[in-house]
Chain A
């Protein structure tokens, strides 16, 4: 019987090595897999590369991970937020590498990896600092920039509800990067608030099919 529901959350991080790349879902405060990030902070792996939209704020979550100084590089679109002081301190001290990516490129590069594409041409950022040094092409009279896929060893995503096959539905705009990150990582761990019996989720409404999900962490009471 296939059962992707974890009995212990940390079991999902077996195989996490130094230098691993980890995608973390969420936009601002929505759709953040808080408990999975806390669990990641408790692991030992160093020199991590984190792919996520924002660089954390306050003292918890991604900010706590940065504070632990085990992140070598962050790939994100908007690192500057209210109270994102841990990122700012590391960045100004030259102790973290930042790859700044326009948000649509971030989503599409992740999706491209999940879809097995070698990259794509986009008009976004043509003629700007963020396209410097990149291959360009004129297609149908418009300028395009070549962007490569973004892969990860792990994706940590937040969904509302799952079944033991790993099928997911999300909650409102908390969905954000979850579906594309789930496709792009070798191991996807989804934090959910509710687990239901097989056959309960409406197949027409499943957003992330279980093929993209390896582990489910049930965290009730949220």
Chain B
């Protein structure tokens, strides 16, 4: 196999790409981990409402040091703030926002996404791992659009875009778009459709490291 020069973008640059795809007026849930970076790139002059599964709409950035309020935390249990016009509600209402199809977009991390839009993000399936799921399964199938934000390859260089997930699923056929450090891919009835490849990379070079068929329009 020939060595293919990949020119990945940074996590912050992926976050920026996702932020550009979020229209004004959207109600958005950003998953724990990498997706929280997206909040840093949402345009300040647009009204975009961040939802936190523990019962917040209109979630704002982290408070100043010393101003933390431990009754005001995000899904990752980190202190946050509430923006003017925000609201609090209980868990059943919070998840009704997801499960009832009221949230416009959620952004989740993943271990694998299949060409059918199956998502694997919660469990490696290893017997020694303590399983924990939180709100991932509710978000994955509940939001109108589920975006995935992840590195294209594992640390070992294995493709996270796959034909069929080998890790336990979080949701079936639930992913709309995948944003990786190599490109943006839409899930279509015929598999991964390339929307953008970064830094001028060719389809061949990205296809060479991807264990699923990529197609151009």
Chain B residues in 8 Å Cβ range of A198: none
Q: Chain A residues with Cβ under 8 A from B94's Cβ?
A: 107
Q: Is the CB of A180 within 8 A of B54?
A: no
What is the CA–CA distance of A177 and B170 in the complex, to the nearest angstrom?
A: 23
How many whole Å from B26's CB to the nearest CB in chain A?
A: 20
Interface bin, chain B = 35 or more
Contact check, A103 vs B171: say whether CB atoms are below 8 A apart. no
Closest A residue to B141 using CB positions: A123
| Contact-residue size bin, chain A (C-beta under 8 Å from the other chain) | 35 or more
Contact A79–B71 (Cβ < 8 Å): no
* Residue with the highest number of chain A CB atoms closer than 10 Å, among B56, B89, B141: B141
Inter-chain contacts of B17 with A (CB < 8 A):
none
Q: In the complex, what distance in Å separates the CA atom of A178 from the CA atom of B27?
A: 24
Min Cβ gap B128→A in Å is 8
> B132: CB under 8 A from chain A?
yes
Instruction: Point out the residues of chain B lying under 8 angstroms from A27, CB to CB.
Output: 54-55, 73, 77, 91
- When chains A and B are docked, how far (Å) is the Cα of A79 from the Cα of B129? 11
Most chain B beta-carbon neighbours within 10 Å: one of A27, A87, A92: A27
Contact A78 B72, beta carbon cutoff 8 Å: no
Q: Are B130 and A30 in contact (CB under 8 A)?
A: no
B13 surroundings in chain A (CB, below 8 A): none
Contact A179 B90 (CB under 8 A): yes
Chain B residues near A122 (CB-CB < 8 A): 99
A interface footprint on B75-99 (CB within 8 Å = 1, 0 otherwise) = 0010000100000111110111011
By the criterion CB–CB under 8 Å, are B90 and A176 in contact? yes
From A28, A87, A92, A172, B82 is in contact (CB under 8 Å) with: A172
Q: Does A61 count as interface, using CB distance less than 8 angstroms?
A: no
A42 → chain B closest CB, angstroms: 25
B138 and A124 form a contact (CB under 8 A): yes
User: Does the CB pair A175–B89 fall under 8 Å?
Assistant: yes
A170 within 8 A of B: yes
A77 in contact (CB, < 8 A): yes
Knowing A28-B73, A30-B70, A175-B55, say if A103 contacts B172 (CB, 8 Å).
Answer: no
Query: Which of chain A's residues has its CB closest to B134's CB?
Result: A78
Name which of A1-9, A12-20, A63-71, A125-133 contacts chain B.
Answer: A125-133
Query: Within A164-208, which residues are at the interface with B (CB < 8 Å)?
Result: 170-180, 207
A124–B140 alpha-carbon span in the complex (Å): 8
The answer on a CB contact under 8 Å between A103 and B89 is: no
B-side contacts of A176, CB under 8 Å: 54-55, 90-91
Within 8 A of A (CB), among B20-35: none
Determine if A107 and B130 form an interchain contact, defined as CB atoms under 8 angstroms apart.
no
Assembly CA distance A122 to B128 (angstroms) = 29
- Bound-state Cα–Cα, A101 to B133, Å: 7
Report B124 CB to chain A, min CB distance, Å.
12
**Alpha-carbon distance A177/B55, docked complex (angstroms):** 9
Chain A 90-126 interface residues, beta-carbon cutoff 8 Å to B:
91-92, 98, 100-108, 110-111, 122-126
Q: A-B pairs with the 3 shortest C-beta distances?
A: A104-B95, A104-B138, A28-B77
Instruction: Give B residues with C-beta under 8 Å from A.
Output: 52-56, 69-73, 77, 82, 88-92, 94-96, 98-99, 118, 123, 128, 130-138, 141-142, 168-172
Kindly list 17 other residue pairs between chains A and B, CB separation below 8 angstroms, not including A101-B133, A129-B169.
A27-B91, A30-B70, A77-B132, A88-B130, A92-B128, A100-B133, A102-B137, A103-B133, A103-B138, A104-B95, A104-B137, A107-B92, A107-B94, A124-B141, A128-B168, A172-B72, A172-B82
What are 20 of the A-B contact pairs (CB < 8 Å)? A27-B54, A28-B54, A28-B77, A29-B70, A29-B77, A79-B130, A80-B132, A88-B130, A102-B134, A102-B135, A103-B95, A103-B134, A122-B99, A126-B172, A127-B118, A128-B168, A129-B168, A174-B71, A179-B90, A179-B92
